[in-house]
Amino acid sequence: MPSDGLKNARPRPRVLMVGFAGHQGKEYLPIVRETADVVAGVDPAPAATSLADEWGFPHYDVLGEALAKVDFDAAVVTVPHNEHFPVCSQLLAHGSHVVKEKPFAVTEHEARQLIHQAQRADRGVLTLLQRNFNPVFRFARENLARIGDPYWFSYDYHFNLAHPTTGWRASREQAMGGVLLDMGYHLIDVLSGMFPEPEPLRVHSAFVHQYRETRDRRLEDLVGLMCSYPSTGLVGSLRISRHHHEKTEHLCVLGTEGALNVTPGAATLHSVGGLPLERYVWEGPKTDAVRSMIAHHLGHLDDRSYRQEHFRRQLAAVRTIDGIYRDRSPERNALADRCA
């Protein structure tokens, strides 16, 4: 006789993994299997066949084939940026929930189309952003009020890759943006969780290229942003790059009554003048945050209010990033105007 808890437990969702043979797909696969049944995978990469055999699920080269042959509740999507919209749109048209890598969408137009399609189909499109499930960032959000009114932030996020970008990230058609879209999406989302704003930010940007090939393809290696929030007067700067001398992530917020310092491993509250007041340390492992993120999203696929809040926040992040690219690219701006 099952206990009440077991009797009422939801069945494990059936998941289709789209892009499972790539970096993120391989990271997520064992974690998804803890919460869900992986019923098939889609990936055209040569390595996909042996990987699917190893994990014991059927494998398809193209999504359409899987849609015709497999029953599933949700798809976990980890594909290059240019494939996000067509893949997600096809999944929603099929009636599937989507749990996907960032970015939610590349352009505001595509974000609005996805949201519209998801709402009509009564399905979720939930974005995997691990900082929302990292206890340090949670501590930072929950304790922000202790520094009074925030008036300045600086947020640095850098990789120290020694060579020019390769693979799909080096192709403008596939990457659809440089570090701002690829790495900056996480930071814009963190900021919108900490400083919810109804209005779009005012942003000034500087795009910098370390390598000639990335300059030629207009894929920024480094971006500097100066952001202001008109309704509160908060101002801040972001610096994001792939080829820094060290790999680092550091957010510092100054407030009228103190300061907050955040790295992925620790957050410290300071008084005005710098005295440390409280330090919260998280020693990971990172997979714990990924595990709770995936379980949480898969557990909230049918939660309409969770989905609605997610759409609102992701639309804001996409709109901010799309707006920065549009300000710098007359051609992207003209395309957006034609789509509007």
For the CB of residue 316, give the shortest distance to ligand NAD in the complex, in Å: 18
Alpha helices in the chain (DSSP H): 4-8, 23-35, 48-55, 63-69, 81-94, 108-121, 135-143, 172-175, 179-182, 184-194, 212-216, 286-299, 304-328, 330-339
For the CB of residue 246, give the shortest distance to ligand NAD in the complex, in Å: 18
Q: Which residues pair with 276 in a beta bridge?
A: 270
Does 19 sit near ligand NAD (CB under 6 A)?
A: yes
| Amino acid occupying residue 314 | Q
For the CB of residue 265, give the shortest distance to ligand NAD in the complex, in Å: 16
Token couple for 97: 């929930």
CB nearer to ligand NAD: pick between 23 and 279: 23
For the CB of residue 25, give the shortest distance to ligand NAD in the complex, in Å: 6
Does 78 sit near ligand NAD (CB under 6 A)?
A: yes
Binding mask 107-136 for ligand NAD (x = CB under 6 A): -----------------------x------
For the CB of residue 63, give the shortest distance to ligand NAD in the complex, in Å: 6
Is the dihedral angle over the CA atoms 209, 210, 213, 219 positive or is it negative? Answer: negative
Does 182 sit near ligand NAD (CB under 6 A)?
A: yes
Quick one: which segment of 20-28, 109-117, 227-235, 248-256 binds ligand NAD (CB under 6 A)?
Answer: 20-28
| Amino acid occupying residue 338 | R
Cα angle 211, 188, 236; round to 5: 90
Does 242 sit near ligand NAD (CB under 6 A)?
A: no
CB nearer to ligand NAD: pick between 102 and 244: 102
- The count of chain residues that interact with ligand NAD, using the rule CB under 6 A, is 24
Does 177 sit near ligand NAD (CB under 6 A)?
A: no
**Residue of 240, 129, 227, 128 whose CA lies nearest to 179:** 240
Does 37 sit near ligand NAD (CB under 6 A)?
A: no
Contact 95, 67 (CB under 8 A): no
Cβ-based neighbour number of residue 30 at 10 Å: 12
DSSP 72: -
The helix/strand/coil state of 203 is strand
The helix/strand/coil state of 287 is helix
Quick one: which segment of 80-88, 233-241, 297-305, 311-319 binds ligand NAD (CB under 6 A)?
Answer: 80-88
Chain position whose Cβ is nearest to ligand NAD:
22
Quick one: which segment of 19-27, 116-124, 139-147, 194-202 binds ligand NAD (CB under 6 A)?
Answer: 19-27
Does 21 sit near ligand NAD (CB under 6 A)?
A: yes
Buried b (16+ CB within 10 A) or exposed e, 9-21: eeeebbbbbbbbb
Q: Which spans of this chain sit near ligand NAD (rule: CB under 6 A)?
A: 18-19, 21-25, 42-45, 63, 78-81, 83, 87, 101-102, 130, 167-168, 182
